Chain A
């Protein structure tokens, strides 16, 4: 009996010794959720581009394009958060209301980034685009990143009114209003 008691005592002592570790730990979770985001805007906000076709300087001359037919005061800004290995984003431009008078066209030139953005920003799709009511890619290969916000950040937009053919020129109203919409998507 004494032997059994002694064995039990030794076992309990061993258990006690193991129980007396001088450390303990506990933990909790921490998470960070980064969503997929695609945001685009044109800066400055609420700016209206005004383009005019200049009058002929002499009888028999054609209406031409002057500085009044060109505007380089707007900038395309965007922020994109996409999943790793997801497809690149693109920016499309299209005329969503109004129409260009016949005989004229509206050229858009999108400049590449002139100031450093953050992350993987895109590049222009082509040197020039003639805007229509169909969406056309103007910036491509946008990864996760942002251009920064404001005038002089992102892609400079240059609009130019072009006279295509004077024979087709039909101006019903002295002023034509257009809405140009930029959309960012896959």
Chain B
């Protein structure tokens, strides 16, 4: 009886799980000889596929209103290149989302990207890079894009 009661209490504690944001996918921009001719520079802007990354909002706890901030955590990134993100779908589920349809710059400090209500899956994200140039030294650059959900 006692162990059952103990496990029940622990179960209650663990069961009250926090809200979750989950992102799946990654984005790889790559250039090659085929992108330019001698004398030319790369196109200053380039976009990813519109559905390369998807974001889910899960397990909300209280009012179900939330906002998501986006930021980046540079591993090896050149400041000459700016990253922009936008959502290309509204997702599906019992909630809705607003904001984020126009490109927002992703900076090292978190900034609100979109807001919403309720649980949503499959909010697709598209990225744009600005500042691509031959001036950029040949290398492979990395950064992590971080999404933080705040329940309101």
Contact = CB atoms under 8 A, between A and B. Distances in A.
Interface of A: 1, 5, 8-9, 12-13, 15-16, 19-37, 39-41, 43, 77-84, 86, 118-120, 144-150, 153-154
Contacts of A120: 135
Contacts, number: 187
A13 B9 CA distance: 9
Contacts of A43: 39
8 contacts: A23-B151, A26-B146, A37-B138, A39-B39, A81-B134, A81-B138, A83-B137, A150-B39
Contacts of A32: 29-30, 81, 129, 132, 140-141
A34 B39 contact: no
Nearest to A14: B13
Contacts of A8: 6, 9
Given A22-B19, A28-B25, 20 more contacts: A5-B5, A8-B6, A12-B10, A12-B12, A15-B10, A19-B17, A22-B150, A23-B19, A24-B148, A25-B146, A27-B147, A30-B144, A32-B129, A34-B137, A34-B138, A35-B33, A79-B134, A81-B136, A83-B138, A84-B137
Interface residues of B, number: 60
Interface string B123-141: 0000101001111111111
Contacts of B18: 19-24
Contacts of A5: 2, 5
Given A77-B38, A148-B40, A34 B31 contact: yes
A150 B39 CA distance: 8
Contacts of B73: 27
A168 B150 CA distance: 88
Interface in B26-44: 26-33, 36-41
A7 to B, nearest CB: 11
B114 interface: no
Please indicate which of the listed interface residues A1, A16, A24, A86 has the most CB atoms of chain B within 10 Å of its own CB: A24
A23 B69 CA distance: 10
B140 A33 contact: yes
Given A12-B10, A35-B138, A77 B145 contact: no
A28 B127 contact: no
B137 A79 contact: no
B142 interface: yes
B111 interface: no
B134 A80 contact: yes
Given A34-B137, A81-B134, A82-B138, A20 B38 contact: no
